[in-house]
Chain A
Amino acid sequence: DQVLHIVPETFQQVQHLQLLCSTLMLDLWKPLVPEDVRAGEDLHIRIPAPLVQEVKDSLDQHMISYRVLIPDVQKLVDQSMPRERSSHRQVSGGYVYTEYHPMEEIYQWMTQIQKNNSELVTQHFLGKTFENRTMYYLKISQPSNKPKKIIWMDCGIHAREWISPAFCQWFVKEILQNYKSDPKISRFLQNLDLYVLPVLNIDGYIYSWEKDRLWRKNRSPYENGTCYGTDLNRNFNSSWGSVGVSFNCSSDVFCGSGPESEPETRAVAQFIKSKKSDILCYLTIHSYGQLILTPYGSTTKPPSNSEELMQVAKEAAAALTGKYGTSYRVGSTALILYSNSGSSRDWVHTIGIPLSYTFELRDTGTHGFILPADQIQPTCEETM
Chain B
Amino acid sequence: ELPPSHFPAARAAAVALGYLRYLRGGPGRGLELRALRRARRQDIDDVGHKYYLELELEDVLDKDRTVSCTAEVLYGLGSNSSAPDVQITVQGELSSTEEADKEFYNRIRSLEKELVAENIPDSHGNVPPELEPIHLLAWAASGYVIWQNSTENTKFHLAQVKHVKQLKRSDEDLQFDYMLLLHEMVSQEVIPWEVAVLWHPQRGARVCRD
Contact = CB atoms under 8 A, between A and B. Distances in A.
Interface of A: 99-100, 209, 213-214, 216, 231, 244, 246, 251-253, 327, 329-331, 335-338, 364-375
A368 B121 CA distance: 11
A160 to B, nearest CB: 8
Given A366-B60, A368-B183, A375 B125 contact: yes
A216 to B, nearest CB: 6
Interface string B125-154: 110000000000000000000000000000
B189 interface: yes
| 9 interchain residue pairs of minimum CB distance | A372-B125, A365-B157, A252-B188, A329-B5, A214-B190, A213-B123, A370-B125, A338-B186, A252-B189
Contacts of A374: 125
A369 B6 contact: no
Given A251-B187, A253-B187, A366-B60, A335 B123 contact: no
B43 to A, nearest CB: 19
Contacts of B121: 367, 370, 372
A370 B120 CA distance: 10
A231 B189 CA distance: 11
A364 B124 CA distance: 17
A110 B210 CA distance: 47
B183 A369 contact: yes
Contact of B159 (A100, A369, A375): A369
Given A329-B5, A331-B5, A253 B35 contact: no
Contacts, number: 70
B6 A100 contact: no
A331 B188 CA distance: 20
Nearest to A371: B125
Q: Tell me the interface secondary structure of chain B in the complex.
A: loop
Nearest to A339: B186
Nearest to B127: A372
A290 B32 CA distance: 15
Nearest to B190: A214
23 contacts: A100-B123, A214-B159, A214-B181, A214-B190, A244-B186, A252-B187, A253-B188, A329-B5, A331-B6, A335-B6, A338-B186, A364-B33, A367-B121, A368-B157, A368-B158, A368-B183, A370-B124, A370-B125, A372-B124, A372-B125, A372-B126, A373-B124, A375-B125
A108 B3 CA distance: 46
Contacts of B126: 372-373
Q: How large is the interface on B (under 10, 10 to 19, 20 to 34, 35 or more residues)?
A: 20 to 34
Question: Chain B CB within 10 Å — which of A244, A329, A374 has the most?
Answer: A329
Contacts of A370: 121-125, 159-160
Contacts of A369: 159, 183
Interface of B: 3, 5-7, 14, 32-33, 35, 60, 121-126, 157-160, 181, 183, 185-190
Contacts of B32: 366
Given A214-B183, A253-B188, A368-B157, 6 more contacts: A100-B123, A214-B190, A329-B5, A364-B33, A365-B33, A370-B125
Contacts of A337: 7, 185
A216 B187 CA distance: 12
Contacts of B187: 246, 251-253
A329 B4 CA distance: 10
A213 B123 CA distance: 6
A364 B14 CA distance: 11
A338 B122 CA distance: 29
Nearest to A333: B7
B125 A336 contact: no
Nearest to A363: B32
Contacts of B5: 329-331, 336
A251 B124 contact: no
Nearest to B126: A372
A63 B7 CA distance: 81
Contacts of A244: 186
A372 B183 CA distance: 17
A209 to B, nearest CB: 7
A377 B32 CA distance: 22
A335 B157 contact: no
A216 B125 CA distance: 17
A143 B183 CA distance: 46
Question: Chain A CB within 10 Å — which of B35, B121, B157, B158 has the most?
Answer: B157
A367 B120 CA distance: 10
A251 B181 CA distance: 16
Contact of A327 (B7, B35, B188): B35
A184 B63 CA distance: 35
B141 to A, nearest CB: 16
Nearest to B160: A370
A367 B6 CA distance: 21
Contacts of A253: 187-188
B160 A214 contact: yes
B124 A100 contact: yes
B7 A335 contact: yes
Contact of A367 (B35, B125, B188): B125
